[in-house]
Amino acid sequence: MEIHGHARPERSNAKRCGVEGCTRRDILKIGALGIGSLALPDLLAAQGAKAKNCILIWLQGGPSHLDLFDLKPDAPIEIRGEFKTAKSIDGVRISEHLPRIAARMKKLALIRSLTSPEGNHDRATHYLLTGHRPSPAVAYPSMGAVCAKEFGVGRELPSNIALPRAPEYADAGHLGAAFNPYEPAPLPSISFDRLRRREAMVKKLDELSDAVEKTPARDSFYDQAFSILLSDKARTAFDLSKEKANDYGHHELGRSCLLARRLIEAGTRFVTVTDNGWDTHDNIFKRLRDGFPGKLPGLDQAYGALIDDLDQRGLLKETLVVLMGEFGRTPKLNSAGGRDHWPRINSVVLAGGGVRPNVVGTSDAFGELPDERPVQVEDLIATIYSLLGIDPSKKLSSPGGRPLPIVDGGDVIKEIV
C-alpha cells in the first residue's frame, strides 16, 4: 500500500501558513505524506510525562450524554428516552448499547460534569480542540499541533495525524502549517524509482520556476514528504493487510481506531480519529442504535477493541485515549424525537497514559447542569497536556513574537491524575 496525505486547509488568514507565497496544497501536490516538523528533540523523559502518546476520538456533532454515559432512568420518559442501562459497575449508568465500554469502566476515567458556554458547532469544536474560545485576533493551535511542536519528530512518520480526516480547528493556527495534522489517503501504485524521479523533477522545476517562492521551510516539506513515502516504517504502519483479523469492526471508525494503534506503535505521537454523525436532532434512538453498525454499537466495538489492544501490547500505560465531542444534548426530547445542542453539561472519557480510573462530577436529576464538581473546558485541556508532559501554563510565540498560552488557564483534574 502506498500513501499520500494532505494537511488541513489553513484558517482564513493566509499568513498562518508559515511559508509565504505558497499554500499547503501547493507543497503537497507531489502526492506524498508530509511530516509534522523538524522541531525539538524528544523531551518526554526530562518532563516526567505519564503519557508518551495520545489518541483523541472525536465524536463530531455532539454526542448525547443522556444516552451514552449519564443515563437518567428515574427521570420522566421525555428526558430518559428509550435506552436502558448496561450492567451497572460501581453505580455508573452506561447505555445498554455500550456493553464493552461498561465492562471496562474499571480502566476508565469518566467526567460527567464538563460544562461550556459554547453551543454552536464551530465555536464549541474550536474550544474543545484548542482550549481557547474563538478569537478574531488569534488563530489558536489545536492540541495535536501543540504536541507536534513540543515533541518534534523524525523523518519517517508525522507526529500529528488525523484519521480519516481532521475536524475543523484541528490545525496549527499561529504555529504555522508545518504542525498541521496530516490526513493519509490511498494512492494508486507508484514504483519507488518513479517516486525518486518525481522528487528530482520537483526539485529541478523549483530551480527553474520564478512563480514559487523558495524558502527553507518549503524545501523541508518536500524533502520530508518524499522520505516518508519511501520509508519502510510508514508503508508498514499504514498497511492494514498486516492485520489478519481484528475485533475493531469492518467500518470506518473501527478501521481508523486500528490504524491509530498501528501509527502509535510505529512512532506517531498524536492521532485524531473523527467519527461523524452525532448531531442527532431527530430520531435519536434509531440513529444511535440502528445501522451498519449503529453509532453506539460501532463506537462500543471500536473503542473496546482499541483499549484491549493497547493494553495487551503494553501500550496503554503510555498512550492517553480521550473520547469526547463538542457538547452534550438537550435533556428534553424535541418534537422530532431528537435532542438539540446543550453545552451546559457533557461527558468525557479518558483512559491509559497515567489516568487514574475514577468518576468525576455528577449532573442534576434531569441532566441539565453539573450538580457536583463542575469541570471547565480549560481544566480538561490542562489535564491532557499535563499527562503528556507539557506544562499547561507554557506560552508559545506567535509569528509576531507575542507569547500566547497553550491553554487559557485551567486546573489539572487531580481526581484522575
* Close Cβ partners of 142 (under 8 Å, ≥ 6 residues apart): 129, 130, 169, 170, 171, 172, 173, 181
| Ranges of each domain in the chain | 40-174+251-416
Q: CA–CA separation, 318 vs 320, rounded Å? A: 7
* Close Cβ partners of 215 (under 8 Å, ≥ 6 residues apart): 19, 20, 21
The residue with cell 453551543 is 119
Spell 376-406 as b/e; 16+ CB within 10 A means b. bbbbbbbbbbbbbbbebeeebebeeeeebbb
Question: Where do the DSSP E strands lie in 71-137?
Answer: 108-115
Which listed CATH number (3.30.1050, 1.20.1260, 2.30.110, 3.40.720) goes with 40-174+251-416? 3.40.720
Distances (CA, A) of 93 to 43, 113, 342: 39, 14, 20
Q: CA–CA separation, 392 vs 386, rounded Å? A: 6
Q: For the whole prediction, is pTM greater than 0.75? A: yes
pLDDT digits (tens), the chain, 417 positions? 334 455 454 564 433 333 333 333 333 332 333 333 333 334 444 445 789 999 999 999 999 999 999 999 999 999 999 999 997 777 789 999 999 999 999 999 999 999 999 999 999 999 999 999 999 999 999 999 999 999 986 568 899 999 999 999 999 999 998 899 988 865 444 454 554 565 565 555 455 544 444 444 445 445 555 556 667 788 788 888 878 778 999 999 999 999 999 999 999 999 999 999 999 999 999 999 999 899 999 999 999 999 999 999 999 999 999 999 999 999 999 999 999 999 999 999 999 999 999 999 999 999 999 999 999 999 999 999 999 999 999 999 988 889 999 999 999 999 999
Bridge partners (DSSP) of residue 115 are 376
